[in-house]
Amino acid sequence: MALADSARGLPNGGGVSPAAGSGAPGSGAAAAATGGWSSFPEIVELNVGGQVYVTRRCTVVSVRDSLLWRMFSQQQPSELPRDSKGRFFLDRDGFLFRYILDYLRDLQLVLPEHFPERSRLQREAEYFQLPDLARRLAQTRAAAARPAVLHRDGSICADEPPPLLGYLEAEPLEGGGGAAASAPSPTASRSPSGGPLLTPSQSLDGAGGRRSGYITIGYRGSYTIGREAQADAKFRRVARITVCGKTALAKEVFGETLNESRDPDRPPERYTARYYLKFNFLEQAFDRLSEAGFRMAACSSTGTCAFAPEQGGPADDKIWTSYTEYVFCRD
């Protein structure tokens, strides 16, 4: 980040009297007591990694001793880096900063379901020196990683440790007794419907703990072939790989490589056609789908051809463009 080192190393308080620091966030008394605040506008514009945010000054200084509090209360506006349009610039993840700003508004942590970037958001919270937010994120990550246990009555508890060998209860063997009767067997534990109880590695969403469904991968490609220079042809130039399907499935398969900027906060059970991948290699997308248990079910492609006249020469070169979709499914 292009922030001066003085913004990080400011002592707590920075010469501000305790009375000023103990005032309510954004209060007029605190602003008057802190010399730097009066130099900032009431509404501040932030450019965070290319994403523009507009918020109130009292919001960014709502957590005392945080990095933003030091920037906007202990420094003058002229000391902070700006972009070409005069916005205050921070060289951090612009998409994750929306959750940092939400936390600063009311000091509550609210994330979408199946949020795959908790570890990265925790790193951002640590960078902005928000210890309470970092602690909450660490707790949610630990809770998400804890396996769920399905009881015989059909209830689920995620707080209990997984049972030995993945069985909750042993049933006596027919015609036996003693130690042999108390030993668990793969067919001993049953669910209320008569089937085997789910082990910690499984879920209620399908076999092996994986949801069934479809994901469609699409891309537009182009290549140019000249009449006498086929060796110089440029094949399959892929600009962007799109992802269509259920939000939860797309996030499960592609994780942090999924760009959600065109459709943020989409509920997990809703469908979207606006996601795309952060890489341009189809084979990489195929590998991820294969590792997640998907298989290709169908594909289709359309193409067009046009002539590209060269400067001072005949229009001999042909530009081929195509749009291709691959449909993957998981039972």
Give pLDDT, residue 265.
Answer: 79
Residue 132 has pLDDT above 80, yes or no: yes
What does the pLDDT look like over 10-51, one tens digit per residue?
433 343 333 344 444 444 444 444 445 568 999 999 999 999
Average pLDDT over residues 249-255: 91
Mean pLDDT of the chain: 73
The angle, 0 to 180 degrees and rounded to 10, between the axes of the packed helices 131-145 and 118-127 is 160
What does the pLDDT look like over 265-311, one tens digit per residue?
788 888 999 899 998 888 999 999 999 999 999 999 888 877 666 54
Residue 90 has pLDDT above 50, yes or no: yes
Residue 92 has pLDDT above 80, yes or no: yes
Residue 157 has pLDDT above 70, yes or no: no
* Local confidence band at 58 (pLDDT 50, 70, 90 cut-offs): very high
- Between 36 and 326, where is the model more confident? 326
Nearest Cα to Cα of residue 62 among 96, 9, 24, 22: 24
What does the pLDDT look like over 195-215, one tens digit per residue?
444 443 333 344 445 788 999
Q: H/E/C letters for each residue in the chain?
A: CCCCHHHHCCCCCCCCCHHHHCCCCCCHHHHHHCCCHHHCCCEEEEEECCEEEEEEHHHHCCCCCCHHHHHHHHCCHHHCCECCCCCEEECCCCCCHHHHHHHHHHCCCCCCCCCCCHHHHHHHHHHCCCHHHHHHHHHHHHHHHCCCEECCCCCEECCCCCCHHHCCCCCCCCCCCHHHHHCCCCCCCECCCCCECCCCCCECCEHHHCCCEEEEEEEEEEEEECCCCHHHCEEEEEEEEEEEEEHHHHHHHHHHHEECCCCCCCCCCCEEEEEEECCCCHHHHHHHHHHCCCEEEEEEEEEEEEEECCCCCCCCEEEEEEEEEEEEEEC
Give pLDDT, residue 169.
Answer: 42
Give pLDDT, residue 237.
Answer: 63
What does the pLDDT look like over 110-122, one tens digit per residue?
888 778 888 999 9
